[in-house]
Chains A and B, each alone.
Chain A
């Protein structure tokens, strides 16, 4: 009878390990979350002005990319464009900032992925410094009140974009 205790004793160990899926051992809170997003005023590759001020009241997805960032930015670009098209009529703005890129290469990147949302270079890297960007790609989700609510490092997925933006849209 007691011999069955041996196989059964496997179960609590498995349960404990499964618990590990819920926790994130590497999580370190970012000091930016909850803070007001730093204002920026850039000029897009098309020449049009792009500023955070002008987007107030809308949910803003600020994405930092570069043409030399393989392969993550290449995986993420179609996701960005797709998601933008899905949400453009719903008070959402997507802004792309090209980091430390050559103008030629950046324009080619925009063409290749048929970006229809505004993209701008960041002369002097001021905006990336303001947002504490130290790698690409990084995406910031900013709520209607202009606060940074989430920072995602690495390639975006449709799922992630959708859940985060939907959540922020639901807030009035």
Chain B
């Protein structure tokens, strides 16, 4: 039965290799969730995190020329300044929840490589209804330039 044992040994080696691959992969790429309070309590520079909170109203600064986006994420107790290069996703906005992935820089802000904003299917937003016309104003402005279809 040495052949049998050979196959079992081969199988065990393969299993061990797989287990190692998975273990290495997880320890390297699993990213921890953290709240602003937790981050403020114990900031670790350079470690990858997913930081979740609400975008503080009034904290968003967007510079279209340099594509620099800065804002603060808060969980009601602490708030963390965040910086990101590039436009934020469409769902991003003040007073809304967002999760950012990145790391603490040690220079006083969290550098976000990715911004993930929440989408809620439950209800409607006050856009485009008969009363308010925030985006309609936008369209009207553009149409005035004579560039409408």
| Cβ of A98 to closest chain B Cβ, rounded Å | 9
With A and B bound together, what is the CA distance between A165 and B139 in angstroms? Answer: 44
Contact B129 A66 (CB under 8 A): yes
Contact A135 B76 (CB under 8 A): no
Cβ of B46 within 8 Å of any chain A Cβ, yes or no, is no
| Chain B residues near A134 (CB-CB < 8 A) | 93, 95-96, 125-126
Contact A69 B54 (CB under 8 A): no
Q: Choose the segment among B8-16, B63-71, B81-89, B116-124 that binds chain A (4+ C-beta atoms closer than 8 Å).
A: B116-124
With A and B bound together, what is the CA distance between A155 and B121 in angstroms? Answer: 12
Known contacts being A72-B124, A132-B95, is A28 close to B53, with CB within 8 Å? yes
| Chain A residues near B52 (CB-CB < 8 A) | 28
Q: Choose the segment among A9-17, A30-38, A111-119 that binds chain B (4+ C-beta atoms closer than 8 Å).
A: A30-38
With A and B bound together, what is the CA distance between A33 and B131 in angstroms? Answer: 29
Known contacts being A28-B53, A100-B132, A105-B130, is A135 close to B125, with CB within 8 Å? yes
With A and B bound together, what is the CA distance between A101 and B52 in angstroms? Answer: 33
1/0 contact string of B32-66 vs chain A (CB within 8 Å): 00010000000000000000111011000000000
Residues in chain A within 8 A of chain B (CB atoms): 26, 28-35, 66, 68-70, 72, 99-102, 105, 125, 128, 132, 134-138, 153-155
| Cβ of A104 to closest chain B Cβ, rounded Å | 9
1/0 contact string of B77-120 vs chain A (CB within 8 Å): 00000000000000001011111000000000000000000101
Known contacts being A31-B76, A33-B76, A134-B96, is A99 close to B126, with CB within 8 Å? yes
| Chain A residues near B75 (CB-CB < 8 A) | 28-29, 31
| Cβ of B55 to closest chain A Cβ, rounded Å | 10
With A and B bound together, what is the CA distance between A126 and B122 in angstroms? Answer: 23
With A and B bound together, what is the CA distance between A128 and B57 in angstroms? Answer: 13
With A and B bound together, what is the CA distance between A135 and B97 in angstroms? Answer: 13
Contact A132 B131 (CB under 8 A): no
| Cβ of A65 to closest chain B Cβ, rounded Å | 10
Known contacts being A31-B75, A136-B123, A154-B122, is A100 close to B54, with CB within 8 Å? no
Contact A136 B95 (CB under 8 A): no
| Cβ of B82 to closest chain A Cβ, rounded Å | 14
Contact B57 A132 (CB under 8 A): yes
Contact of B74 among A31, A105, A138, A154 (CB under 8 A): A31
| Cβ of A130 to closest chain B Cβ, rounded Å | 10
| Cβ of B54 to closest chain A Cβ, rounded Å | 5
| Chain B residues near A153 (CB-CB < 8 A) | 120, 122-123
| Chain B residues near A105 (CB-CB < 8 A) | 130
